[in-house]
Amino acid sequence: MNETEKSSQWHKTACILCSLNCGIEVQLDENEPRHIARIRGDKAHPISRGYTCEKPQRLDFYQNAADRLTSPLRRRPDGTFEPIDWETAIAEIADKLGLIRDEHGGESIFYYGGGGQANHLGGTYADSVLKALGSKFRSNALAQEKTGEFWVQGKMMGTGMHSDFEHCEVAIFIGKNPWQSHGFNRARVILRQIAKDPDRSLIVIDPRRSETAELADYHLAIIPGTDAWCLAALAGILVQENLIARDWLAEHATGLDQIEPLLASIPVAGYAEACGVPEDLLRAAARRIAQAKSVSMMEDLGMQMSIHSTLSSYLQRMIWLLTGNFGRPGTNYALVPFVALNLLNKGAGISRESGEKPEKRSPVAGARIISGLVPCNIIPDEILTDHPRRYRAMIVESANPVHSLADSQRMREALGSLDLLVVIDVAMTETARLASYVLPAPTQYEKYEASYFNIEFPQNGFHLRRPVFDSPPGTLPEPEIHARIVEALGELTDEDIAPLKAAAQQGRPVFAREFMNAMATNPVIAKFAPVVLYRTLGPTLPNGAASAAVLWAACHLFVQANPLSARRAGFTGDQFTAAESLFDAILDNPSGVIFAKDEYEDSWSRVRLPDNKINLAIPEMIAETQKLATEPLQRNPDYPFVLSAGERRSESANTIIRNPDWRKKSHAGLLHIHPQDAANLGLKADDSARLSTRRGSADVVIEITDTLQPGHLSLPNGLGLDYDAGDGVIMRVGVSLNELTASEDRDFLAGTPWHKHVPARLEPLK
């Protein structure tokens, strides 16, 4: 296809700006064919069905950023970088990692990242590198957002879950504004449907009158940081007014005998006052929930990054479980993931088969490892020490911990003290600037990519995206980088994989037989399976789809674990035939495929606890609930405001777009403040002020809005990136939020940060 033909075509791909990854089609600029000229929703995408929000219209700012990396870089002694060739880079990195492993053990090499909102495919192959090094500890952004929730749902259900807002009678959101942060497919369409329907209700628990709260029938405008009191009061009302689904609980749950007296003792009037919501409104909301035929509830970062976050995850589940809202249409359901990330239910330390298991801990700080992830806020503690088990080297892939994790100052200090830091990324990020070596990868539109955030029900979809552009010279896709490192470490040789290479040439049935045999008999093949698949099956896949090789194994594992789900989705025949036809469907459908169809009651078989029963009683959470009565919310008079650091706005997204020009409105990201607070400080719209926290300060421009409560401030996420527009001058537009946050401000159990509850002070700048 020539350039003219290529630019007139619509190319199917996905938006990469939030976890939904809506299917889109892009047309290239006919004069500048490496630019995206037009974008529209892909109506053939089986999940998003043509839906998009406004954000992907500006994706060309990502594709054509000026700070792209196009050569491996090595840090010179003076701190500057020099370009080097790939052979040198891989050889030196493997050599240095090997030396650290040999001297200090593989567990001294820490892995962070592995993919963002939509690029999980490449990181799958990192597993082989980590096995080659004997690396044991890892983390990613989920460990500053979701691990408290994962821990709770592991203890209560032993499975991941999501909610059916499309069909629910009552939708409840806590600390979530789906109008901007989405979180479920076609969010704005569904929110409008609920808001318009007099028989359905929308309940929003949020200090801020967000776009979603504007649509709500019940807006419980809590005082920032009081989510737990509000949720405890709602659960207390359900028990005290005898609104719980007693028969359903007797059949499906254990632990009610411990929970009921606890909730019966909740002083509802006192907790209503503590959270700032009128008691009548709380009671009306609780009764509406109890009366509904179906309730779906979702929490998000507004709650998960505030104080009591793990406790609030527990209490919010109590509300829909006490009212019997699980495993039916319009309620909450157990996920059927395509790739078992091991994230959604691992780490809670309980299983149907073996009961309670010891929890894993990080080697230095002894922090709980949930879902296999070290808490992000703990990472500097694991490095900045002379402890013999400290992390001494780090591999960072598709992630930017210096900017996106709490306490940038401390993170910079920690990463700067490592013996070796290897960063794999598309652009020169704040983390890459500290690296010993930087390895450039193609953008998400220049390679095969996929997201493993597949959370739909009863139909679930998976989308393997094809490259829209050729990858530029000097970059390598992540699977190739990982394969080369494993080979340079001497862990996998041509001789090891030669028989499987030959088998792959004879077709997938022969390959499958030989691969299964090798997995059972050859420890090297089993140990490095992702890279083995990439090197053997990969080259035989059509249209250069070698990176999809690992999905072949994923198809077999999925069909083996979920034969009925696959059969209902049309993948029939024996297990091998069904898995192979699923893999073919993934390769052949550029808009994605439905890989699972389920029944709501299937959720019960996925509750991986004894007798498939939900567990209501978690001792740690019962103790925390009791403390609410005696430990009121603390205020620091030196920092009278509460800053929400990281609001999702129309002009903000994840930090993958580094060029600040992508935000047409609000280039620098304004600080929102209530009119009364602005007046008290003598501030007018567009005035500048100094925002200070215990950890740092930043100059901000203010926007006055009554959507916030007095005493509450808010800044958007995704700003404050250090961007070189190509002239060697680094500019920072907007506030880099984690210059203001402190790593010790975190949840007592999961270690998740309190970004939405940062004590702050504001002073006018004259």
CA pair distance 98, 93, nearest whole angstrom: 8
Q: Is 61 or 576 the residue whose CB approaches ligand SF4 more closely?
A: 61
Tokens encoding 290: 């109890």
Q: Is 248 or 453 the residue whose CB approaches ligand SF4 more closely?
A: 453
Q: Is 18 or 533 the residue whose CB approaches ligand SF4 more closely?
A: 18
Q: Quick check: helix, strand or coil at residue 604?
A: helix
CA pair distance 406, 394, nearest whole angstrom: 18
Q: Is 19 or 612 the residue whose CB approaches ligand SF4 more closely?
A: 19
CA pair distance 737, 69, nearest whole angstrom: 25
Q: Is 192 or 513 the residue whose CB approaches ligand SF4 more closely?
A: 192
Q: Which helix (H) or strand (E) holds 703?
A: strand 697-704
Q: Shortest Cβ distance from residue 654 to ligand SF4 (Å)?
A: 9
Binding to ligand SF4 by residue 120, rule CB under 6 A? no
Q: Shortest Cβ distance from residue 634 to ligand SF4 (Å)?
A: 36
Q: Shortest Cβ distance from residue 386 to ligand SF4 (Å)?
A: 44
Q: Is 53 or 203 the residue whose CB approaches ligand SF4 more closely?
A: 53
Q: Shortest Cβ distance from residue 52 to ligand SF4 (Å)?
A: 4
CA pair distance 382, 391, nearest whole angstrom: 6
Please list, in sequence order, all residues whose beta carbon lies within 8 angstroms of the beta carbon of residue 679, skipping any fewer than 6 positions away.
none
Q: Considering only 11-19, 158-166, 434-442, 609-617, which stretch makes contact with ligand SF4 by CB under 6 A?
A: 11-19
Residues 595-614 interacting with ligand SF4 (rule: CB under 6 A): none
Residues 145-184 interacting with ligand SF4 (rule: CB under 6 A): 182
Q: Facing residues of 24 across strands? A: 13, 41
Residues 180-239 interacting with ligand SF4 (rule: CB under 6 A): 182
Q: Are 719 and 668 in contact (CB under 8 A)?
A: yes
Tokens encoding 149: 């929730």
Q: Are 694 and 154 in contact (CB under 8 A)?
A: no
Residues 13-72 interacting with ligand SF4 (rule: CB under 6 A): 15, 17-18, 20-22, 52-53, 55-56
Q: Shortest Cβ distance from residue 186 to ligand SF4 (Å)?
A: 8
Q: Shortest Cβ distance from residue 232 to ligand SF4 (Å)?
A: 32
Q: Is 18 or 500 the residue whose CB approaches ligand SF4 more closely?
A: 18
Q: Shortest Cβ distance from residue 188 to ligand SF4 (Å)?
A: 8
Query: Is residue 759 reached through a cis peptide bond, with omega within 30 degrees of 0 on the bond before it?
Result: no
Sign of the four-CA dihedral 725, 728, 731, 736? positive
Tokens encoding 410: 């401390």
Please list, in sequence order, all residues whose beta carbon lies within 8 angstroms of the beta carbon of residue 106, skipping any fewer than 6 positions away.
133, 134, 135, 136
Q: Quick check: helix, strand or coil at residue 145?
A: coil
Q: Is 20 or 415 the residue whose CB approaches ligand SF4 more closely?
A: 20
Question: Which x/- pattern over 339-358 shows residues binding ligand SF4 (rule: CB under 6 A)?
Answer: --------------------
Q: Facing residues of 111 across strands? A: 138, 395
Q: Shortest Cβ distance from residue 721 to ligand SF4 (Å)?
A: 18
Q: Shortest Cβ distance from residue 465 to ligand SF4 (Å)?
A: 12
# residues near ligand SF4 by CB under 6 A? 11
Q: Are 122 and 398 in contact (CB under 8 A)?
A: yes
Q: Is 22 or 194 the residue whose CB approaches ligand SF4 more closely?
A: 22
Q: Shortest Cβ distance from residue 56 to ligand SF4 (Å)?
A: 5
End-to-end CA distance of the chain: 60
Q: Is 37 or 725 the residue whose CB approaches ligand SF4 more closely?
A: 37
**Rounded to the nearest 5 degrees, what angle is found at the Cα of 418, between the Cα atoms of 414 and 424?**
95
Footprint of ligand SF4 on this chain (CB under 6 A)?
15, 17-18, 20-22, 52-53, 55-56, 182
